[in-house]
Amino acid sequence: MKNLIGQIISGSYSKGLVLKLANNFDIENLKVGEFVVVHGNKTKYFAMVTDILLENSNPRLLSYLPSPEEQFIKDVLTGTSVYGIVHLTPYLMVENGEKTSAEDSIPKVKKIPPHFSSVYKAEAKDIEEIFGKDNKTNNHFSIGTPTEMDIPICLNLDKFVERSNAVFGKSGTGKSFLSRILLSGILKKDVASTLIFDMHNEYGWQGTYEKGQNIKSAKGLKQLFGDKVKVFTLDPNNKSHTSKDAITLEIAYNQVDVEDLELLRGELGLSEAAIDHIRMFQREFERDWFSKFCNLTLGEFEEFCGRHGANLGSLLAIQRKLNTLVDSVKYLKSVTSYDGIKEILNYLINGKSVVLQFGRLNNLKSYALASNIITRHIHAKYVELMEQYLLDGTKYQKPNRLVICIEEAHKFLSPQVAKFSTFGTIARELRKYNVTLFIIDQRPSGIDSEVLSQIGTRATLLLNDENDINAVFVGESGGEDLKRILSQLNPKQEVLMFGYAMPMPIVIRSRRYDETFYKDMLNEEKLSKEEIIKRGELAAAEL
């Protein structure tokens, strides 16, 4: 083989393997995070480089340092007296002669190779054996390449949508681009419907990115996937990012629940006693409680206090806060012309995907309220549909998978909020009802540890804060080596992928979200002439 790196000289099952570099192998040709293959006598092991060290056989040799011009002395010493050591962590193993594919569950490592086992850089066939190949007959999707190779790394989308997933990374590392790539895979392969709460208007018709001093536009999911995606907007007057056929969403007062306000306790300044008063009000007026609370007169409040022993001052303070909320959140209406949430549900249940854009109403208060109200209704409907299916599978259909995408996830899933947030409920238990979360966040340390432990697959760009790095690995074994790799990623495009849908951890260079990607997603040879013309006309109209 051409890519011999060296041989195994020591190691243990718990701490990994130690490799001595071959004399003719340039240590600068190896990076932390690279994917390598160890050939034992009976077994082939797939491993990751986790550390690289310089060693010597006798420290006294270094008492004399050859000058830069004394290349001959350096060549004599290199490989015998001074040499490179590499630490490897093996993850998977395949018995020699055994045929495997990415469709199979390749065994985790349960043993170690013997001394002097040869180690090679991974080749295309090794990558495909582990991660599969993107083709028309499967649901594998190319998400990037290894950092030093031009071979596609594929994600098993069937496994990906089975559990909640996350994209983490500090601001400016490209979370939105990576998220669009992963969501595009789900849409292209039709493995699930998606509901995207688009706080920053990046996923619908078009998004933006910085190129030098200029702001450039990038195609959104609606441009790439046409009728597969329906765009709703809470701000119909915002024309800069919204497609012309976007549906205006209004939310009626009677669709608001107490738990939606609990999520905003900090934003609205509501105490625990205030929440108790609201619950008391909801018990009496049921679905009309919000409208009544906003419009009751002083005399009616006094009458209510007389019946229930409530505090008048507290009720009046709550009324002021709710009316302030209505004034700032323009999509809340006392009466709506149609049930927009029901329409979103119908699209999702029938296999369409929905992007909800917030336009200029992208403050946290507006975002949290709308997303929790809608998700609560989805939660209730999917529980109902799945329970019907389990009761009688011949009469009812199993609901299709749904992936709900949220940005700024730590605001919904913090330890203080996750216990009563609908998103917290989904993260903990709704997988059995075919609903999972797609979390996008720059502060994973702000997310409840119980929720983090339920995340199946994690795509992590660069993070610098130690608390955030530690949080990424909650619930993951062997995270210490991966933490070091994560902290050393390039600030753009490099991603550490690991978890349920990835056979083993790997550092990849993510696909570029560019014209080549657009062409692959549009897949125009499959589209009808009418659809191609329709998309072209829509694009031209938006320019």
Tell which phi-psi region holds residue 404, choosing left (phi > 0), alpha (psi between -120 and 50) or beta: beta
Q: What is the pLDDT of residues 444-486, one digit of tens each?
A: 999 988 888 889 999 999 998 999 999 999 877 767 888 888 8
The three-state DSSP-derived secondary structure of 449-480 is: HHHHCCCCEEEECCCCCHHHHHHHCCCCCCHH
The per-residue pLDDT for 104 is 61
Q: Which strand (E) or helix (H) includes residue 160?
A: helix 157-160
The per-residue pLDDT for 540 is 41
- Cα dist. 8→87, 91, 232, 272 in Å? 10, 16, 57, 61
Q: What is the pLDDT of residues 243-290, one digit of tens each?
A: 667 899 999 999 999 888 888 888 888 888 899 899 988 888 888 899
Instruction: Tell me the pLDDT band of 219, cut-offs 50, 70 and 90.
Output: confident
Tokens at residue 388, please? Answer: 């019907």
- Listed as own residue / partner, the contacts of 515-522 with beta carbons closer than 8 Å and 24 or more positions apart are 517/181, 517/184, 518/219, 518/223, 518/224, 521/184, 521/188, 521/224, 521/225, 522/224
pTM for the complete prediction?
Answer: 0.86
The per-residue pLDDT for 538 is 46
Cβ neighbours, 10 Å, residue 391: 9
Q: What is the pLDDT of residues 308-360, one digit of tens each?
A: 888 899 899 999 999 999 988 889 999 888 899 999 999 999 999 999 988 88
The per-residue pLDDT for 511 is 92
Answer yes or no: is pLDDT of 75 > 90: no
Tokens at residue 231, please? Answer: 């765009």
Answer yes or no: is pLDDT of 209 > 70: no
- Cα dist. 108→89, 112, 171, 536 in Å? 12, 11, 34, 48
The per-residue pLDDT for 147 is 81
- Cα dist. 212→206, 209, 469, 492 in Å? 19, 10, 29, 14
Instruction: Tell me the pLDDT band of 193, cut-offs 50, 70 and 90.
Output: very high
Strand pairing report for 193-198 and 402-407:
parallel
The per-residue pLDDT for 36 is 93
Q: Which strand (E) or helix (H) includes residue 445?
A: none
The per-residue pLDDT for 502 is 93
% of the chain exceeding 90 in pLDDT: 43
- Listed as own residue / partner, the contacts of 271-277 with beta carbons closer than 8 Å and 24 or more positions apart are 273/311, 273/314, 274/314, 274/317, 274/318, 277/310, 277/311, 277/314, 277/315, 277/318
Answer yes or no: is pLDDT of 175 > 50: yes
Average pLDDT score, the chain:
86
Answer yes or no: is pLDDT of 231 > 70: yes
Max mean pLDDT among 97-101, 113-117, 376-380, 520-524 falls in 113-117
Geometric angle at alpha carbon 195, from 255 and 287, rounded to 5°: 5
DSSP assignment letter at 191:
-
Q: What is the pLDDT of residues 90-106, one digit of tens each?
A: 999 998 877 665 556 68
Tokens at residue 476, please? Answer: 């993951």
Task: Please list the residues that pair with 20 across neighbouring strands.
Answer: 7, 85
Please check whether residue 382 is in contact with residue 435, taking contact to mean a CB–CB distance below 8 angstroms: yes
Q: Which residues contact 197 (CB under 8 A, 6 or more apart)?
A: 356, 358, 367, 370, 371, 374, 404, 405, 406, 407
Cα–Cα dist 6/39, whole Å: 11
The per-residue pLDDT for 240 is 54
Task: Report how far apart the first and last C-alpha atoms of the chain are (Å, whole number).
Answer: 53
Cα–Cα dist 383/402, whole Å: 12
Tell which phi-psi region holds residue 349, choosing left (phi > 0), alpha (psi between -120 and 50) or beta: alpha
Higher pLDDT, 484 or 502: 502
Please check whether residue 280 is in contact with residue 270, taking contact to mean a CB–CB distance below 8 angstroms: no
Cα–Cα dist 82/61, whole Å: 9
Strand pairing report for 165-168 and 457-460:
parallel
Q: What is the pLDDT of residues 21-47, one digit of tens each?
A: 998 899 999 988 899 999 999 999 999
Cα–Cα dist 177/182, whole Å: 9
Q: Give backbone dihedrals phi and psi of 140, rounded to 5 degrees, phi first.
A: -85, 145
Cα–Cα dist 373/371, whole Å: 6
Cα–Cα dist 463/461, whole Å: 6
Please check whether residue 214 is in contact with residue 173, taking contact to mean a CB–CB distance below 8 angstroms: no
Answer yes or no: is pLDDT of 528 > 90: no
The per-residue pLDDT for 171 is 86
The per-residue pLDDT for 539 is 41
Please check whether residue 422 is in contact with residue 261, taking contact to mean a CB–CB distance below 8 angstroms: no
Task: Classify 123 as helix, strand or coil.
Answer: coil
- The structural domains of the chain, ordered by start, are 4-131 (no CATH), 156-250+337-542 (3.40.50.300), 254-328 (no CATH)
Q: Give backbone dihedrals phi and psi of 419, rounded to 5 degrees, phi first.
A: -65, -25
Cβ neighbours, 10 Å, residue 23: 12
Cα–Cα dist 496/460, whole Å: 5
Tokens at residue 345, please? Answer: 């549900």
